Chains A and B, each alone.
Chain A
Amino acid sequence: EAAVTQSPRNKVTVTGGNVTLSCRQTNSHNYMYWYRQDTGHGLRLIHYSYGAGNLQIGDVPDGYKATRTTQEDFFLLLELASPSQTSLYFCASSPDWGGQDTQYFGPGTRLLVL
């Protein structure tokens, strides 16, 4: 099964702080995704990418930046964290177009913004 890892697994920061969440996949998948999960909202797409240097805007991008540095690595940046960004963040990857290919999820990062 496809391997997706995330770090850190848990993070606490203060309002206005800088946070970087990391994701790595070792399956040579083209597509990578960042989601947030909140009770009552399912999974909401923040940003996604179909290759190194590419970035696509998701459905809830405000307050988030992302960068895909290599085929394997996708980063999510919160430059001025706010309490509304307290959430469970998942990274996912898929071999090709996520609409036709299974997405494989990492274990998640739980972020608390005080």
Chain B
Amino acid sequence: QQKVQQSPESLIVPEGGMASLNCTSSDRNVDYFWWYRQHSGKSPKMLMSIFSNGEKEEGRFTVHLNKASLHTSLHIRDSQPSDSALYLCAASPNYNQGKLIFGQGTKLSIKP
């Protein structure tokens, strides 16, 4: 069973709209969350990380973290066609140094 669950599996958002992606860990021993973005045919690249409760904003991207519920969300405002990609959430368990557990991903499509 996946220890990191992402929803939805796929999402279509009109250009200029807001995309909201969710991620929850079922493992309570998770300290850190990461969001990676993978364009079609390319390798994953780190987008944002969040380690503390609250919100972190970088340009059009905002990440929220609620450590009590082990839930993180990624919000993309003013979505662009170039945002179309697979978004992978990853969690780092504190009992196993060096390891990331990835979710199955959310495929985001931005429609012009």
> Using a CB–CB distance below 8 Å, which chain A residues touch chain B?
31, 35, 40-45, 48, 50, 56, 58-59, 90, 94, 97-100, 102-108
Provide the bound-state CA to CA distance between A42 and B92, in Å. Answer: 15
Chain A residues, CB < 8 A from B43: 90, 105-108
Q: Which residue from chain A places its CB closest to the CB of B3 in the assembled complex?
A: A59
Partner of A98, one of B6, B92, B94: B92
Provide the bound-state CA to CA distance between A97 and B92, in Å. Answer: 10
User: Within the complex, what minimum Cβ distance (angstroms) separates A97 from chain B?
Assistant: 5
Q: Could you tell me if A44 and B32 are in contact, using CB atoms closer than 8 angstroms?
A: no
Q: Which residue from chain A places its CB closest to the CB of B4 in the assembled complex?
A: A42
Partner of B31, one of A41, A94, A99, A106: A99
Partner of B98, one of A43, A56, A106, A108: A56
Chain B residues, CB < 8 A from A40: 104
**Is B88 an interface residue, CB under 8 A from the partner?**
yes
User: Within the complex, what minimum Cβ distance (angstroms) separates A52 from chain B?
Assistant: 15
User: Within the complex, what minimum Cβ distance (angstroms) separates A79 from chain B?
Assistant: 24
Provide the bound-state CA to CA distance between A100 and B88, in Å. Answer: 17
Chain A residues, CB < 8 A from B90: 43
User: Within the complex, what minimum Cβ distance (angstroms) separates A114 from chain B?
Assistant: 23
In this complex, which of A42, A56, A97, A103 has the most chain B Cβ atoms within 10 angstroms of its Cβ?
A42
